[in-house]
Amino acid sequence: GFKSLEGHMDMERVGITGHSAGGMACRDLGDVADVLIPMAGYAPVAKTRLKSTLVLAARNDTIVDYPGEVSAYKNCDVTPKRFASVDALGHLFCSDLCWVGARAGGVVQIALDAGIKVAGAFKSLGQNGCSYLNKTEGTHFLGPQCGWQLVNYASAAAFEEVLRCDSGMASKLTHIKSEMPIPAGCPKTTVFDFQEQLSAGVVV
């Protein structure tokens, strides 16, 4: 549990999110959290306290298998549950690692230039889906702000629905592909896929 946090936060309303290994760590926390939002971390296991989950993913993630994430969501027994993915971004869609040091070739290249040779072993992870690769690799990844927008918009809605008993934002998620405000430099097709199952047996 989280007894060390008692007195510092409202333990009756708990939401947990995590990315990659942190997202996978969310998998079994449905007995201590009301909302779980794994990002590039598959889907959680239904447990007694868990009231809702939102699975976030990136279409071009080659670190965590995207079809596997879709399958994990479909096999998830939590309701309500939602799935949203961003187009043309990779594993780092929800982080700032594609933004930090982009002009210098990214964090991996900065480390290599500083003589940290072991950084090369993490190259595929440390720049997965970064738009600064477009100039040298011929890729067509979106800017990091596109992923941030999806994460902020969708996760705020999922958290507010349960933790604040406010479904105003969550009700808009059904039409997130057309209603989510699009940041400058991002296409209207930023949201690649959205699925939701708000009650047992009803899939949208």
Distance, in Å, from the CA atom of 31 to the CA atom of 135, rounded to the nearest integer, reads 46
Distance, in Å, from the CA atom of 11 to the CA atom of 90, rounded to the nearest integer, reads 34
Range 195-200 average pLDDT: 88
Instruction: Give the tokens for residue 83.
Output: 């799935």
Closest by Cα among 140, 106, 136 to 123: 106
Distance, in Å, from the CA atom of 8 to the CA atom of 194, rounded to the nearest integer, reads 35
Residue 202: pLDDT band (50, 70, 90) is very low
Number of helices (H) and strands (E) in the chain: give both, helices first.
7, 5
Torsional class of 5: left (φ above 0), alpha (ψ -120 to 50), beta (otherwise): alpha
Examine the pLDDT at 204 and tell me if it is beyond 60: no
Question: What digits encode the pLDDT tens for the residues 133-163?
Answer: 999 999 999 999 999 999 999 999 999 999 9
In 10 A of CB 45, how many CB atoms?
16
